[in-house]
Chain A
């Protein structure tokens, strides 16, 4: 969940109202936000680096507010204020439209060449005219860009935003891709020119930029944007050129967004990001002079589709109208409001709505900033939020049903109780472990374990799903060696085995495992536990109709001290004294006996 940090006093000034912390928390909660923390720069520095470092830092009160993952339009002070003001009916929802340049001139163009296809094939751009920066607006502008990069742009892997002073460059602009050795320019905040290859090694040690290098590092071609004079605007997603740096004096801004492959990014996302950025920027830059802003999005070629399928104009700025009935919303939410009142609720959520005059039908206009509204149920949710979740009457559904336990879980629950009564203590171990745990340490070959392997474990602890419960119990013993002996543990839980008959190629298997750890091996103790379990399952000792054990060889167990367990002639597991190598590999020092059986045959 993204967090936006805003200065409290600026926020209240923009909202035109002061709140107590509790009142503001309440407002956030109703709107679906969370006032996560009340702090200051001074507090943050003192917490992270100590009181001394915090000396002299600002103690202006900061609100840290959690914003839900679908509401990027709220990701800065300006967006937040707009959302809350509309919610409180103090402001009308803004309406955006694409306009032509005021001077009647040609729109700017961004030409995208075929070479970009292999590395970063998509781009959109916009121009903001006539902006006025102040120090605070400038900071907010930069911060918003960074917030978008970190969240919806997924650390620039999906989308990267570049901003440039339009008055120092001239269109049309070219977005292309070249071998890194052929790219040469002076990057932002550097005093000389470098090739792209040199830049990559230069930034290896840069605390901030090094995190983005991997995105293009191993590509044969690097993406690059030039103006008509061959000046480098940016090498996305890494760095801008130095010439075009935005400053406090910048009046006109050229914004470009470049994006990677469309299997990862919704094709509206790039437009959405651009729109959010421009949109919120307008508020940032011109909060009090909203009318005077001219807002343009120009695209010569919109490459939001796969290469070879090029559209020439942006159409996604369009507003969409949905029609739904008041009754639908009332029935789904569980309220009883008139169509007019529902239309009013929706308007407060930036969804301009009016009753159509036909029955209780309501027409709802979905703005292009609300890519999350794709179904009537999304509109229904906004009506419920505006109504206030906590104002809805809570009622018990009349649904009549009879409960059933899952037979396997019922059996497990009953057995657990009696195993504890038999003196064994329940362990709860991880279902994931290392290959070593289920193979080498048990003197088994990993290829013969039928184990399910994980492709992307961050550490060895998560290489495989366990194929038996024994390693977890032995590790539990190892962590508790200081406890008085004997240690008697059990676990009834699932292991995972490959099984081609299943749709996913694997299945769980419910197993019972117990260990006895003491100065003497206690084969008879673990054997006694088997007898007790069978007694509980009402299976008699009998070679054919009941259960019996039979000497067996198993590499995990000490030779001559292992038996296979049969129930009704079918093998269900093993018991015996563990092999000394197994004991030492689990960092244990005493003899140990164990039992491991499948309980599914007893259902």
Chain B
């Protein structure tokens, strides 16, 4: 947090801090915290604490972390530095008249000291001595170099030893090499040898008493992040949905009731003049319902007209010339597009006494029994816009699309002829992607076929133009998400939800 990791509660005592600062005042170019510890005669860890306290005061000192290696005596090494090496202790224990070997071996240093002293040729063993083997000195005096070397290290003068010697002692487990973390301390920009206690926060008491005027406030760390507000978050896909709804409402489109996931094949396919043998009606593409398996209520007259236009034609159409079956139309399914709802709405519109132009939209879930991959799920949200009026042209459709996509920040559009069973003409909408430097498909559009509209009872001169796109795709592009599962469904990473920015589609 901004208050800093080191609170004032753990402040080292002011006397020590000031001693440190006075020491620092005298040296040019700074000093090492280990030297400070030696000079002030305190443990290094205490100095480390003092340094941290000083750091928290701002720019009094500046520090740089260092790590250095140094040699230190082991427990056995310290014993030898004090009492002499095992071999020296053995030598010293032997009187001029010698000592029985078994007695010598009882000494704590006996075993090790005996063999070392033997190899140093300080002592000799008389095996044939009467009364058992006896050990005698062979020299008058000895020089205990092991002890001398260890004492050098103990005095911090390990540099006087050669590496080979140090390694020899390390092998004998008398020395070890340790890494020490220390600070290189120099004067800071607001160096002073006296400590003024700094305050972290303004308090109600300071305001009341006016004491804030005399206080020194701890500098604030503007580099640190603030504390995250305690709040909930909206899902990014739903944020984009809100924006698309907004765009349609701004354009005067009325929202369709799409809260019916279960649809009959009749409204999902037949009413749209999609033949009963169309591949989209296969088990491979569409989820059919086993319970409730069939829809049981249809507008009878209308259904007859749909049957006729499929099987025999009419309204200027050849029809598909096949045996249309009600059993196929009754099959319930999970709607494969929201156009099923558009069909219901257009049928309802056709039942009005007098036709009135309409503009409709919807954004809701649709379902496909597809092979799933990084960009395909079994369910997704379809965005759909529909305009019904007398005399609408293909040019009008492109005009509406231009307005709609301009609101999404997409102005460069072009249209490709395409195929769709219920629109004619059908157009795929492409926009120029500045980043990818190519045209990418952004939606589908078309003019509903007369074989769909006329059986509903819409007047002859009325055209219905429509377009659709998925909500997921623009959202994935907007939020830079490559795998759709990271956006939709329970596998979503909540951190992504927490972190997602607001959605402005036109910027």
Contacts and interface: CB of A to CB of B under 8 A. Distances in A.
B391 A427 contact: no
Given A69-B419, A432-B379, A483-B494, A331 B288 contact: no
Contacts of B379: 430-432
Contact of A392 (B276, B328, B378, B394): B394
B320 interface: yes
Interface of B: 230-235, 237-238, 242, 245, 248-257, 259-264, 275-277, 279, 283, 287-298, 313, 315-323, 325, 328, 332, 334, 357-359, 365, 367, 369, 377-379, 387, 389, 391-396, 398-400, 402-403, 414-419, 424-427, 430, 439, 447, 449-451, 463, 465, 488-495, 497-498
Interface of A: 29-32, 34, 68-71, 154, 262-268, 331-335, 372, 374-378, 380-381, 384-385, 389-390, 392-406, 408-409, 413, 416-417, 419-432, 452-458, 461-462, 465, 472-473, 475-476, 478-480, 483, 487-490, 494, 496, 498, 500, 502-508, 510
A385 B417 contact: yes
A465 B262 contact: yes
A506 B490 contact: no
Given A268-B321, A465-B261, A394 B402 contact: yes
Contacts of B419: 32, 68-71, 372
Given A403-B248, A426-B233, A487-B494, 8 more contacts: A331-B391, A401-B253, A403-B252, A426-B232, A452-B292, A473-B490, A475-B490, A478-B490
Nearest to B313: A374
Contact of B490 (A394, A427, A454, A456): A427
A32 B419 CA distance: 9
A389 B287 contact: no
Given A262-B322, A457-B287, A508-B260, A426 B235 contact: yes
Given A68-B417, A68-B418, A374 B293 contact: no
Given A334-B396, A423-B230, A374 B238 contact: no
A396 B399 contact: yes
- Most B C-beta atoms less than 10 A away, residue of A267, A422, A456: A456
A267 B232 contact: no
A452 B427 CA distance: 36
22 contacts: A29-B416, A263-B325, A265-B277, A266-B275, A389-B417, A393-B395, A394-B398, A397-B389, A398-B389, A401-B252, A401-B253, A403-B252, A423-B232, A428-B237, A430-B490, A465-B261, A473-B490, A479-B491, A479-B492, A503-B297, A507-B260, A508-B260
A429 B379 CA distance: 10
B102 to A, nearest CB: 68
B233 A425 contact: yes
B262 A496 contact: yes
A378 B424 contact: yes
B321 A394 contact: no
A22 B288 CA distance: 43
Given A333-B395, A395-B396, A456-B288, A406 B490 contact: no
A375 B424 contact: yes
A456 B288 CA distance: 6
B489 A380 contact: no
B332 A504 contact: yes
Given A381-B424, A389-B394, A503-B264, A428 B259 contact: no
A406 B426 CA distance: 29
Contact of A266 (B293, B322, B465): B322
Nearest to A157: B282
Given A431-B261, A483-B494, A508-B259, A452 B289 contact: yes
Contacts of A268: 321
Contacts of A465: 261-262, 334
B451 A413 contact: no
Contacts of A488: 232
B399 A462 contact: no
A421 B291 contact: no
B357 A401 contact: yes
Contact of A334 (B315, B369, B395, B403): B395
Contacts of A331: 391, 393
A517 B419 CA distance: 49
A377 B446 CA distance: 12
Contacts of A30: 417
B427 A389 contact: yes
Nearest to A423: B232
- Most A C-beta atoms less than 10 A away, residue of B387, B402, B425: B425
A390 B415 contact: yes
Contacts of B369: 456-458, 462
Given A400-B357, A422-B232, A483-B494, A395 B249 contact: no
B83 to A, nearest CB: 57
A229 B472 CA distance: 62
Given A71-B419, A397-B396, A430-B379, A419 B450 contact: no
Contacts of A401: 252-254, 357-359
Contact of B463 (A29, A332, A375, A455): A332
Contacts of A432: 287, 334, 367, 378-379
Nearest to A454: B287
Contacts of A507: 260, 262
A396 B403 contact: yes
Contact of B378 (A372, A395, A462, A473): A462
Contacts of B253: 401, 403
A596 B184 CA distance: 62
A417 B425 CA distance: 41
Given A32-B418, A426-B235, A480-B494, A377 B255 contact: no
A334 B393 contact: yes
B254 A404 contact: yes
A109 B69 CA distance: 101
- Most B C-beta atoms less than 10 A away, residue of A389, A413, A430, A483: A389
Contact of A456 (B260, B283, B328): B283
B232 A420 contact: yes
B277 A494 contact: no
- Most A C-beta atoms less than 10 A away, residue of B263, B325, B403, B447: B447
Contacts of A392: 394-395, 398
B387 A384 contact: no
Given A332-B447, A377-B424, A389-B415, A404 B288 contact: no
A374 to B, nearest CB: 4
Contacts of B260: 502, 504, 507-508
Contacts of B492: 427-428, 476, 479
Nearest to A500: B292
Contacts of B357: 399-401
B399 A395 contact: yes
A335 B398 CA distance: 13
B292 A375 contact: no
Contacts of A502: 260
Nearest to B424: A377
Contacts of B394: 332-334, 384, 389, 392
A428 B489 contact: yes
Contacts of B488: 428, 430
A465 to B, nearest CB: 6
The 4 closest A-B pairs by CB, nearest first: A334-B395, A334-B393, A32-B417, A505-B292
Nearest to B488: A428
Contacts of B316: 375-376
Contacts of B498: 425
Given A392-B394, A427-B490, A431-B379, A263 B319 contact: no
B264 A428 contact: no
Nearest to B328: A263
A69 B419 CA distance: 6
Contacts of B416: 29, 32, 34, 389
Contacts of B251: 403
A107 B390 CA distance: 54
A476 B367 CA distance: 21
Contacts of B254: 401-404
Contact of B289 (A385, A403, A455): A455
